[in-house]
Structure 1
Amino acid sequence: MSFMYEETPSYNNLKEKAYYIIKDKIINCEIPPGAFLEEEKLKEEIGASRTPIREALNKLEQEDLINILPKRGIFVTDINMKDIENIFQIRLLMEPYIMKISYKNLIEDELLKYKELFKEYFTDPKDDLYYTELDARFHYFLVKASDNKYLINMMQQIFIQNHRIRVISAKKPDRIENSINEHLRIIDFLLEGEIDEAVSEMEEHIRQSREVALRLGINI
């Protein structure tokens, strides 16, 4: 289940089913950046006719996850160096600030739960997608604690684009291990009430994530 949902979404119609299924495949890079989307194949996989598939694709184009090009076809949007810089510029600007204003709303039991989940990955590592989902949920948890619906909505859109970068970056040797240590330091500072140190650690974590993504090259 994607970090975007509190619980597994229920589909009210075939358009919603198509939208959520295709979106999850894109943000988890099951359909990679730049890939060509075949409508006929999507119809078969989802069990829907052309109309709900088209409606779902139109919505995904509005969210900048696909490009519908007349006479050429439908393509998943690429992620280039400029995209990476733009996404991390916003994250570096917003997430430390959000942590400062959300700190008072953070629930200690939730922080301890995330601490255990990150530590468990050291002793019982699962696949990369499991970790990237855990990573995304932790950052979304911090943003939601701001109790500011405008910030939450804005950052959710950033996190959706960032998730594709996160999935690809996780394949780099040692990145998951380093990322776990960075998250554990953030959590420990929060539990100790050292908000300034937690903010500094978050800034460093985002910088490290950006550097890894940039080293992966253009059009990842």
Structure 2
Amino acid sequence: MSALSLAPRALYEEVAELLRQRIFSRELEPGSWIDELRIAEQLGISRTPLREALKVLAAEGLVTMKVRRGAYVTEVSEKDLRDVYHLLALLESDAARVVAERASDEQLAELQAQHAALEAAVDDRDRFFEINEAFHARLLAMSDNKWRNQMVADLRKVMKLNRHHSLFKSGRIEQSLAEHQGIVQALTDRQPELAAQRMSAHFMNGLQAAQ
């Protein structure tokens, strides 16, 4: 890959996205050292945009910078995981409360349609993950708070570093689907507190499955 193929976005942004995907795909494993020279040579770029990209990933929590040792893919401890799930439960339960109160009938119908798609994908894990993520992203968008959305986006990136994704556990997909059904029902019934409670429980159950 050449530097020219990384245009037209700012070069460091393109490099950051490439590294982000390598981290999420486990091509770069948690705890592994990031060989800046080798990656720069692979991409046909200087180390300057690569270092800028690493700063972006460090700000997102995906990379840890160690003095005189360089950059490493962040390892998520059990405490990190508990903290991330705790914050996600708070933020997304608040979003569910807002959606139950303020969403239009058309928006709620959209969430119901996404849940139906989730049910149809129960035997296709990759597709289930994709729709599950889209459902949460759409609910957050409907809650219309860009600051909360940014915090959730950053937390979810850290959550993806976990070696043992909660949905990998046997039976967790079916349990998660049932929890989604309960959340959607509370939303469509316009029960804000119940929607918030069920969203919070959804994340707490996910944490138990991820540990």
TM-score, normalization by structure 1: 0.79
Instruction: Count the aligned residue pairs.
Output: 202
- Could you tell me which residue of structure 1 aligns to residue 161 of structure 2? 164
Take 2:120 and 2:75, find their aligned partners in 1: how far apart are those partners? 33
Take 1:172 and 1:46, find their aligned partners in 2: how far apart are those partners? 36
Q: Is the 8 A contact 1:68 1:75 kept in 2?
A: yes
Q: Which amino acid aligns with 2:120?
A: E
Take 1:40 and 1:66, find their aligned partners in 2: how far apart are those partners? 17
Deviation at 1:37, TM superposition (A): 1.6
Q: Is the 8 A contact 1:27 1:163 kept in 2?
A: yes
Name which of 164, 185, 202 aligns with 1:205: 202
Matches within 5 A, 1:1-220: 11-103=8-100, 104-105=102-103, 107-122=107-122, 124-127=123-126, 130-165=127-162, 168-214=165-211
Take 2:205 and 2:92, find their aligned partners in 1: how far apart are those partners? 14
Deviation at 1:117, TM superposition (A): 1.8
Counterpart of 1:164 in 2: which secondary structure? coil
Give 5+ residue unaligned stretches, structure 2.
1-6
Per-residue CA distance 1:62-82 (angstroms, 9 max, x = gap): 222112224433211110011
Counterpart of 2:9 in 1: which secondary structure? coil
Give 5+ residue unaligned stretches, structure 1.
1-9, 215-220
**Residues 57 and 183 from structure 1, CA distance in 2 versus in 1: closer, same or farther, beyond 3 angstroms?**
same
**Residues 81 and 112 from structure 1, CA distance in 2 versus in 1: closer, same or farther, beyond 3 angstroms?**
same
Q: Which amino acid aligns with 1:125?
A: D
Take 1:42 and 1:167, find their aligned partners in 2: how far apart are those partners? 27
Counterpart of 2:72 in 1: which secondary structure? strand
**Residues 136 and 32 from structure 1, CA distance in 2 versus in 1: closer, same or farther, beyond 3 angstroms?**
farther
Take 2:114 and 2:94, find their aligned partners in 1: how far apart are those partners? 21
Structure possessing the higher radius of gyration over alpha carbons: 2
